[in-house]
């Protein structure tokens, strides 16, 4: 559930204005932001309460720790409502800091009130019903081994995420309704258009109503969203994220108000999109330069260490930074600027597209 890019969190000291958790803050007519605590950077996650046409809707619901649940309850109480007043709970993406108590909340909502997710994200949300652990852990370990980590290193690196995932109480299948990309839904007196924006999460949803966009973790004001290679099913998540940024840019919202999953609401949407694009370009260029500096095909973890010299402290750092570096190496490969040969479940990369004969013969 890493929120920001590895480099961002460690290398910059930009921290959002301190917010009071559990206190509703009016951000637009009929829209309140309630910040909830998370025990990791950047310290809080936002949920939004929408009200109009005598309807209340909650967007996202926090990490599900005791502190987070208490802050959410306090926020709703300050607005004079309970979960029983909600007409819907909308989830931007199935990361634990946005969805953990969804099942508990749904159980207290009116029986006909749905939990809404993008169709692409539904099965991922429901997969957390399997008791106790990361449902895609085997896949995550496999990806980390592909990057050059040992099984032990990969499993150690996943421990924190495993613990957070255990906080998730997903809703019952019959409560989960889906929206499709581009669909317009009426929520609390406004028409909202659903926008599929993968990259940070495969089924990430943004919601747009006139000049207002709920951006989830797709676009954050101060941190670059983590975009990692997690599965061959999403072969180029950097391109997915770039395409998603282009989709938001193409809306050309006049005087936009962006409501992010972390940090303060912001208006400099076009500038922020440009910064995030440049950040991806910079990191891809670093990965390519590091590849070129090698005189033999090399693993993603070697490239990760070259990029983040001395900044990887322990297995958790390794797997987070590795996931991002692999995303950039795969992005370079998709653009024919790098090539890859797999040997015994480990990927070896070299600069330049189109595998040379020499590379095909390569044995580590
Ligand atoms: Zn988040
Ligand atoms: Zn997220």
161 CB neighbour count, 10 Å cutoff: 19
Question: Measured between alpha carbons, how far is residue 145 from residues 2, 65, 139, 329, 350 in Å?
Answer: 19, 31, 10, 15, 18
Question: Measured between alpha carbons, how far is residue 184 from residues 118, 206, 208, 357 in Å?
Answer: 12, 12, 9, 52
Q: Which of 279, 302, 330 is the last residue of a domain?
A: 279
- What's the pLDDT tens digit per position in 160-186? 888 888 899 999 999 999 999 999 999
Q: Are residues 61 and 203 part of one domain? A: yes
Q: Is 72 inside a domain boundary?
A: yes
The pTM assigned to this predicted structure is: 0.94
Q: Is 1 inside a domain boundary?
A: no
CA of 186 to the centre of ligand 1 (A): 25
Q: Are residues 341 and 272 part of one domain? A: no
CA of 113 to the centre of ligand 2 (A): 24
CA of 303 to the centre of ligand 1 (A): 27
Strands 55-59 and 86-90: parallel
Alpha carbon of residue 299 to chain centroid: 25
Q: Are residues 71 and 183 part of one domain? A: yes
Q: Which of 279, 314, 337 is the last residue of a domain?
A: 279
The whole-number pLDDT of residue 11 equals: 39
> Is there a contact between 140 and 160 (Cβ–Cβ < 8 Å)?
no
Q: Which of 246, 279, 312 is the last residue of a domain?
A: 279
**CATH number of the domain residue 345 falls in:** 1.10.10.10
DSSP 3-state assignment of 207?
strand
Q: Is 355 inside a domain boundary?
A: yes
**CATH number of the domain residue 180 falls in:** 3.60.15.10
Q: Are residues 184 and 122 part of one domain? A: yes
Q: Which residues pair with 350 in a beta bridge?
A: 339
Q: Are residues 305 and 177 part of one domain? A: no
Q: Is 229 inside a domain boundary?
A: yes
The whole-number pLDDT of residue 9 equals: 46
The whole-number pLDDT of residue 355 equals: 58
Q: Which long-range contacts (CB under 8 A, 24 or more apart) does 315-318 make?
A: 315/153, 315/154, 315/156, 315/157, 315/159, 316/156, 316/157, 316/159, 316/160, 317/6, 318/149, 318/153, 318/157
Burial class of residue 233 in the structure, from the number of CB atoms within 10 Å of its CB (0-12 exposed, 13-18 middle, 19+ buried) = exposed
Strands 212-216 and 86-90: unpaired
Q: Are residues 250 and 227 part of one domain? A: yes
CA of 98 to the centre of ligand 1 (A): 6
Q: Which residue has the tokens 């951006």?
A: 215
Q: Give the whole-angstrom CA distance, residue 41 versus residue 64.
A: 16
Q: Are residues 250 and 113 part of one domain? A: yes
Q: Are residues 97 and 27 part of one domain? A: yes
Q: Are residues 174 and 87 part of one domain? A: yes
- What's the pLDDT tens digit per position in 267-294? 999 999 999 999 999 999 999 999 999 9
The whole-number pLDDT of residue 134 equals: 55
Q: Is 235 inside a domain boundary?
A: yes
Q: Give the whole-angstrom CA distance, residue 53 versus residue 187.
A: 9
CA of 193 to the centre of ligand 2 (A): 20
Q: Are residues 109 and 48 part of one domain? A: yes
Ranges of residues in the chain whose predicted pLDDT is under 50: 9-13, 132-133
The whole-number pLDDT of residue 132 equals: 47
CA of 51 to the centre of ligand 2 (A): 25
Find the ligand nearest to 204 CA. Answer: 2
Q: Give the whole-angstrom CA distance, residue 82 versus residue 186.
A: 21
CA of 187 to the centre of ligand 2 (A): 23
Q: Is 140 inside a domain boundary?
A: yes
The whole-number pLDDT of residue 10 equals: 42
What is the Cα gyration radius of the chain?
21
In DSSP notation, 3-68 reads -B-HHHHHH----PPP--TT--EEEETTEEEEEEE-SSTTSEEEEEEEEETTEEEEE------HHH
Q: Are residues 18 and 90 part of one domain? A: yes
Q: Is 160 inside a domain boundary?
A: yes
> Is there a contact between 284 and 294 (Cβ–Cβ < 8 Å)?
no
CA atoms within 13 A on the CB side of 28: 22
Domain count for the chain, please give it: 2
Q: Are residues 324 and 215 part of one domain? A: no
Q: Is 154 inside a domain boundary?
A: yes
Structure letter (DSSP) for residue 199: S
Question: Measured between alpha carbons, how far is residue 230 from residues 37, 76, 136, 202, 360 in Å?
Answer: 27, 36, 10, 10, 25
Domain residues for the domain of 352 are: 283-360
Find the ligand nearest to 95 CA. Answer: 2
Find the ligand nearest to 218 CA. Answer: 2
């Amino acid at each position: 559930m890493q929120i920001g890019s590895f480099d961002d969190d460690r290398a910059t000291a930009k921290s959002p204005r301190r917010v009071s958790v559990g206190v509703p803050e009016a951000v637009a007519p009929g829209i309140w932001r309630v910040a909830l605590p998370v025990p990791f950077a950047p310290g809080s996650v936002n949920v939004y309460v929408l009200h109009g046409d005598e309807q209340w809707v909650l967007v996202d619901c926090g990490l599900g720790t005791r502190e987070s649940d208490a802050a959410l309850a306090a926020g709703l109480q300050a607005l004079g409502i309970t979960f029983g007043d909600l007409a819907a709970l909308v989830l931007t993406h199935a990361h634990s800091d946005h969805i953990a108590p969804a099942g508990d909340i749904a159980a207290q909502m009116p029986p006909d009130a749905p939990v809404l997710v993008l169709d692409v994200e539904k099965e991922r949300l429901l997969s957390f019903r399997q008791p106790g652990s990361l449902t895609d852990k085997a896949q995550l370990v496999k990806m980390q081994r592909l990057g050059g980590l040992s099984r032990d290193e990969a499993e150690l690196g996943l421990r924190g995420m495993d613990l957070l995932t255990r906080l998730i109480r997903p809703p019952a299948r019959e409560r989960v309704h889906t929206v499709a990309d581009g669909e317009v839904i009426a929520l609390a007196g406004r028409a909202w258009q659903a926008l599929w924006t993968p990259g940070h999460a495969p089924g990430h949803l943004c919601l747009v109503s006139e000049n207002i966009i709920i951006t989830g973790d797709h676009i954050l004001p101060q941190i670059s969203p983590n975009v990692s290679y997690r599965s061959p099913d999403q072969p180029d998540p950097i391109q997915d994220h770039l395409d998603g940024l282009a989709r938001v840019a193409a809306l050309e919202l006049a005087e936009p108000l962006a409501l992010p999953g972390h940090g303060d609401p912001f208006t400099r949407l076009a500038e922020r999109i440009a910064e995030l694009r440049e950040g991806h370009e910079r990191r891809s260029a670093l990965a390519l330069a590091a590849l070129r500096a090698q005189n033999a095909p090399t693993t993603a973890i070697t490239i990760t260490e070259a990029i983040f010299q001395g900044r990887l402290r322990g297995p958790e750092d390794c797997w987070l930074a590795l996931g991002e570096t692999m995303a950039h190496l795969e992005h370079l490969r998709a653009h024919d600027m790098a090539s890859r040969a797999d040997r015994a479940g480990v990927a070896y990369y070299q600069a330049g597209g189109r595998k040379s004969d020499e590379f095909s013969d390569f044995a580590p």
